[in-house]
Structure 1
Amino acid sequence: MAHESPIDCGNPAECLDLLKRLRMLDIDATQRTLADIVAALLRALPAPNQHLEVLEAARAQVDFVQAEMAKRYAAHPLPPDSSENETLARVVSLWRGMARSYAQISRQDAASGTLDDQRALLAQRRVDYTGRALLEYFRAHRAPPHGTWAELHDSYSVAEARGVAGVRVPDSLNEVWKAQSALEAYVSALLVDLANPFGRGEREFRWVYRWAQRFAPYCSLDAEPDTGRTEAAAFGIDLAGDHGPRPLWLIGPPGAGVRRFDASRLAGQIRAVLTQFRQGVAPASLGLGADCPTDACAALLLSLYRPWGLASAARRFPRRSGKGSAELCGDWLTIGFHIGGRTFEQPTGGVMAGNLARDISLLTFGERGPEAVPGRPEQLRQRLAATLGFVCGHWDIVDHSVNGFRLQQHPHTERLEHHQLVGIRPPDGERFLLGQVTWLMYREDGVMEAGIHVLAGLPKVVAARLFGLNIGTHVAYQQVFLLPATPALKAPASLVLPGGWFQARRVIEVHDDEAAQVRLTGLLARGTNFDQVSFEALTDPARDAPQETGH
């Protein structure tokens, strides 16, 4: 429990005594006490060696309470008007207080030199805590405020200038190595930034941060250009800037304040780990954590191979500035309505029941609506969607590429999740497409930005149900989506099914114009609410279909 009696938090001896008596029963009170200690010592400026002793004694407790506090906003993007904004501000403030404390000790000791043997440790701690403040915004899916990146670059620049950036020091909080240098602490933050942090849920973000520390020793920052490397495909860091890694060609050649991010050794490490996964080696024995299932580890690490192992800044499809408004919806039935132009119903008589002209009758209180209203299909769709509750949100397009959009909206009207299936209609498109949310982020002004990856092909609504000898014909069909093959993008024909449907070689019945049995052959993508799968038609369903007892 936090200390409640009067205490001089600027007195190192009293601080050490208090730290020994702290109990973690009240996280809020304990965090405030730790913040008070850090702030009071900064004001009191005790002897550098005594100040350092208190900070080192507090590190484990600070780490624990900060992680507990962060759980309050890590599960979903944190809007600027949320009640948990104070929590985020407190967590960031304590990280920054720790960073400033180690910087102050270093400056204060510069004249006397009593802590010369601790210069590398002071530098590493400062970089590490400055980086943690930045990463807290990533965890909350909030754009870092102005100056946040500049603070991190400055902390590393000081370590580099003093010649201690590459010196490893003991760090019990580093889960894998139990040691870290200022360079490795700095690279860890860069790796997290390169890992699409705004596209990670709470669990994945925790793994990415741990793995960034795990793989940081295999990366370096170079002040000289690599004549054997295509610099256009490399990341660079501008130590005088206020932003993260960018394509090197955008910020200039290495030298002065520009560094080239070199992860050539990391590529081999990632390949080696993936190979060991295939040989049955557990993630925990590879320093990846005991809480990571092998299949999830392999999928995440594979997605990190390009930005981490290759340090490649090249996009498969260049982005262009966008304008206009896109319609977007995330509800499964709403997506189907806007793609198919009708509400989903069980197949009858060999065809899907319901069509837009029939559904328009809902607008006339049961009377048959007109078969078509020339020149006004969009207005009819909007009216019908409003009547049925299948309403889309409108998002402004920031930029776009062939296979995706960067959107923004304020105020935010629909709650989205990472990797969720959505329907999207671009302003210049007549049809709705299927997409997946790849990242979410709130800006300081309250605007939410979202990245949407578009699934290849024009989707079609079809019906599907599980199929097997033990499954009767009474089992209801569910709405699913069929995507045709897109040879130009090397995308095979696929089905987008409700989440959890995929099992290797499972047979399902798909009803389009008629019923047919197909076998699921591969999982192409998995989101929070869908499985995108490849499939093959069965030539002899009675022979090929396995027995199923239900989903």
Structure 2
Amino acid sequence: MNFDLPPTGTDPSPAFVNAIACQDWLVTVPLANAVQAQSMFLRQLNLLHRFALPASERFAILDTLRGPVSDVQGDAVKKFASKPLPFAPHEQAALDSTLNVWHMLALGYLRCFESLCAGDSGVITTAVLQSKRTLLAGDQELAAKIAVLAQRTLSVFADWQVDLCRGEQLPDPTYWKKLHQIFSAAETLGIAARAVNDPVRHGNAPTSALAAYGECNLLSTANPYELPARHLAWVARWARRWGAKLALLKMPPEDIRNRAVPLWVDLESDRPASYAPRASSSGRWLETTELRKSLVARIALLEQGRAPAQLQLGDDVTQPAAGQLLERVLQRWCKGGVPRRHERRSASGTCNFIAGFEAVHYHLSGRQMFHAPSRDDTTLRREREQFETFGDHSHKAGSTGGEEGASNLENWEIMDDWRLLDESATGLRISRPLKEGARIGAGQLIAVKTQDSQHFTLGNVRWALREGDASLAAGIQLFPGQPRPVAIRTVEADGRGTWRPGFLLPEAADLKEPPSVVVPVGTFRIERSIEVMVDEKLRVLKLSRVLDRGVEFERCNFHD
């Protein structure tokens, strides 16, 4: 086992070499300024990592830094989380700084862990670890220190992983290789499940190295890159809280009738947990039966009307999103994942791609700007006020609001060319060079046309990920049927809303897809009436349920 850490020396020295001096230094850090604070933290962590110190002193310094670092990191993620790709320069800089700080903090704890695990030769082997395990059996104080170090190291990896996902990236093989090595060492030492305290991440609740390791694998199997930023924060919190409910098995459970489907991981691999075991002497099973009981109980209580905060899901968690998200993680954490509805096959060629609700409506309407089919009293009054204030130029035909409308139109003229990687009846996986084309993000409404298609198909960006330094990949969910651009407005007891763009989609009997309407986000309410103008004919529909929801749209069932 080799963690590939650089050698240490005594020059140059960090600004502090003990925990008391570190506390004094923290007073000088502008914690309210994330950019400046991250720069200061990163410089000192780099110097500290290469400076020779006893493991106990290094650990005390890192634990002193960890709370303030976590607070600053939480402020920094606001600059890049949920932003479309590719990131703007300031967003990319914020992401790079955030990941670098987590990386260096993790390496600092890892150096402490390595120094306590290694033998006289400085090399960590199975024999050395087994010898250490015998020593730890008689030295509970040392065992407790190593258990804390293992937990701290793995928990920083978990924080690092969450911010990777917020930055639309996945942990690389090196990340998983090191994570497995750390946990494997903790398991061999016999301290993986030993209870420790971590006030920064868990308050007064006990945790362990196994809980932190389980958290990382729960995050991975939840496919967090498909989630909006708010839901990703919820899932990350739940994985942190419920990682302690996992048990580690060296053999699969014998009686699986009343058990959850366990996750399987290979400790000698560079891959995260999966659902399908393979032949490996280092395979382990993460038992999720206790986790399943907790999830099922909370789902049932939510259905009975209990508030999410009462179930310790978080004060910011709301219904019905909480129940839907719990169902999602239950399937991925305890039921063996989500099978594909339709077989995916390899594909090639290029496809045209339009991103954004208004841009899609513009192109599918024959490059016509959206105009309300009629002007109600509210619209007439607003236009009259605009005329009295700005004059006639503010609402000329084809204008959507002066310079902003002109800028939007310029963007709408752009259609990206993407390379098709694979496809199914209801989805595509596509890629393109990172910095060529419009910015896209998960939850965006899009229209796509492959070389074999005669018309554009409406869809949703399920995920967008940066792959390496130069490539952008995206997973697209397709809405079957040829979309029809329409105008829609809500109907309320006290009047009618403003006309807005929308789409009608026909029934797709072969895919068991009912007819649906795509409306701007925030439109849906059960049994809400909407007016739909189609070819100058008016239809009144009642919305029944949401089929899909993104950051700018809702696709809904309806009845007349």
TM-score range, shorter chain: 0.7 to 0.9
Question: Equivalent residue for 1:209?
Answer: 236
- Provide, for residues 261-320 of structure 1, a one-character-per-residue CA deviation record: whole Å limited to 9, x for no partner: 433332332221122222332222322211222333223223323212313253232322
Question: Equivalent residue for 2:269?
Answer: 241
1:425 Cα offset (Å): 1.4
Mapped to 2, the partners of 1:22 and 1:151 lie a distance apart of 31
1:124 Cα offset (Å): 0.7
Question: Equivalent residue for 1:285?
Answer: 310
Q: Aligned to 1:291, what secondary structure does the other structure show?
A: coil
Structure 2 residue corresponding to 1:509, chosen from 517, 527, 531: 531
Letter in 1 for 2:148: L
1:477 Cα offset (Å): 4.5
- Asked if the contact 1:172–1:179 (Cα under 8 Å) also holds between the matched residues in 2, the reply is no
Residues 1:93 and 2:121 aligned together: no
Question: Equivalent residue for 2:417?
Answer: 394
Residue segments in structure 2 that go unaligned for 5+ positions in a row: 1-12, 120-134, 375-408
Change (3 A) 1:522 1:122: same
1:149 Cα offset (Å): 1.9
Mapped to 2, the partners of 1:100 and 1:346 lie a distance apart of 59
- 1:177-188 map, 5 Å: 178-188=205-215
Quote the RMSD (CA, aligned, Å).
3.2
Change (3 A) 1:313 1:240: farther
Q: Aligned to 2:526, what secondary structure does the other structure show?
A: coil
1:396 Cα offset (Å): 0.8
Question: Equivalent residue for 1:157?
Answer: 184
Letter in 2 for 1:284: A
- Asked if the contact 1:329–1:393 (Cα under 8 Å) also holds between the matched residues in 2, the reply is yes
Residues 1:485 and 2:492 aligned together: no
After TM superposition, the structure 1 stretch with the greater mean CA deviation from structure 2, 475-484 or 127-136, is 475-484
After TM superposition, the structure 1 stretch with the greater mean CA deviation from structure 2, 38-47 or 236-245, is 38-47
Mapped to 1, the partners of 2:203 and 2:437 lie a distance apart of 42
Mapped to 1, the partners of 2:90 and 2:242 lie a distance apart of 36
Mapped to 1, the partners of 2:415 and 2:311 lie a distance apart of 45
- Provide, for residues 510-539 of structure 1, a one-character-per-residue CA deviation record: whole Å limited to 9, x for no partner: 2335323222222222222212122221xx
Question: Equivalent residue for 2:5?
Answer: none
Structure 2 residue corresponding to 1:65, chosen from 64, 67, 72: 72
1:247 Cα offset (Å): 4.2
Identity %: 27
Q: Aligned to 1:414, what secondary structure does the other structure show?
A: coil
Q: Aligned to 1:505, what secondary structure does the other structure show?
A: coil
Mapped to 1, the partners of 2:14 and 2:150 lie a distance apart of 30
Change (3 A) 1:330 1:220: same
1:115 Cα offset (Å): 2.9
- Asked if the contact 2:86–2:439 (Cα under 8 Å) also holds between the matched residues in 1, the reply is no
Question: Equivalent residue for 1:137?
Answer: 164
Question: Equivalent residue for 2:556?
Answer: 533
1:177 Cα offset (Å): 6.6
- 1:66-465 map, 5 Å: 66-77=73-84, 79=86, 82-110=89-117, 115-175=142-202, 178-226=205-253, 235-248=263-276, 252-253=278-279, 255-312=280-337, 314-339=339-364, 341=366, 343=368, 390-410=413-433, 411-465=435-489
Change (3 A) 1:222 1:459: farther
- Asked if the contact 1:407–1:450 (Cα under 8 Å) also holds between the matched residues in 2, the reply is yes
Change (3 A) 1:519 1:308: same
1:476 Cα offset (Å): 6.6
- Provide, for residues 480-503 of structure 1, a one-character-per-residue CA deviation record: whole Å limited to 9, x for no partner: 222223344333221111222222
Q: Aligned to 2:501, what secondary structure does the other structure show?
A: strand
- Provide, for residues 403-444 of structure 1, a one-character-per-residue CA deviation record: whole Å limited to 9, x for no partner: 111111113411223212111112211121111111111122
Mapped to 1, the partners of 2:248 and 2:499 lie a distance apart of 56
- Provide, for residues 161-207 of structure 1, a one-character-per-residue CA deviation record: whole Å limited to 9, x for no partner: 21111122111123477332111111111121222222233322222
Q: Aligned to 1:170, what secondary structure does the other structure show?
A: coil
Mapped to 2, the partners of 1:199 and 1:293 lie a distance apart of 19
Residues 1:496 and 2:518 aligned together: yes
1:146 Cα offset (Å): 4.8
Change (3 A) 1:281 1:21: farther
1:123 Cα offset (Å): 0.9
- Asked if the contact 2:442–2:463 (Cα under 8 Å) also holds between the matched residues in 1, the reply is yes
Mapped to 2, the partners of 1:71 and 1:201 lie a distance apart of 13
Letter in 1 for 2:548: A
Residue segments in structure 1 that go unaligned for 5+ positions in a row: 1-5, 349-385, 538-551
- Provide, for residues 64-101 of structure 1, a one-character-per-residue CA deviation record: whole Å limited to 9, x for no partner: 12222222222315647834444433333332333233
Letter in 1 for 2:143: D
- Asked if the contact 2:80–2:87 (Cα under 8 Å) also holds between the matched residues in 1, the reply is no
Mapped to 2, the partners of 1:476 and 1:56 lie a distance apart of 55
Letter in 1 for 2:323: A
- Asked if the contact 2:246–2:287 (Cα under 8 Å) also holds between the matched residues in 1, the reply is yes
Q: Aligned to 1:180, what secondary structure does the other structure show?
A: coil
* Runs of 4+ more than 6 Å apart: 111-114
1:509 Cα offset (Å): 2.1
Mapped to 1, the partners of 2:270 and 2:514 lie a distance apart of 42
Change (3 A) 1:435 1:187: same
Q: Aligned to 1:501, what secondary structure does the other structure show?
A: coil
Mapped to 2, the partners of 1:7 and 1:406 lie a distance apart of 47
- Asked if the contact 1:505–1:520 (Cα under 8 Å) also holds between the matched residues in 2, the reply is yes
Mapped to 1, the partners of 2:262 and 2:364 lie a distance apart of 40
1:479 Cα offset (Å): 3.3
- Asked if the contact 1:322–1:399 (Cα under 8 Å) also holds between the matched residues in 2, the reply is yes
Q: Aligned to 1:528, what secondary structure does the other structure show?
A: coil
Change (3 A) 1:115 1:313: same
- Asked if the contact 2:82–2:441 (Cα under 8 Å) also holds between the matched residues in 1, the reply is no
Mapped to 1, the partners of 2:346 and 2:477 lie a distance apart of 16
Q: Aligned to 1:496, what secondary structure does the other structure show?
A: strand
Mapped to 2, the partners of 1:81 and 1:479 lie a distance apart of 29
Residues 1:466 and 2:490 aligned together: yes
Letter in 2 for 1:510: V
Q: Aligned to 1:274, what secondary structure does the other structure show?
A: helix
Mapped to 2, the partners of 1:347 and 1:109 lie a distance apart of 74
- Asked if the contact 1:239–1:257 (Cα under 8 Å) also holds between the matched residues in 2, the reply is yes
- Provide, for residues 106-162 of structure 1, a one-character-per-residue CA deviation record: whole Å limited to 9, x for no partner: 333456977333121111111111233333221211243451221222221111121
Q: Aligned to 1:294, what secondary structure does the other structure show?
A: coil
TM-score, L = length of structure 1 = 0.79
1:240 Cα offset (Å): 2.2
- Asked if the contact 2:32–2:72 (Cα under 8 Å) also holds between the matched residues in 1, the reply is no
Letter in 2 for 1:329: I
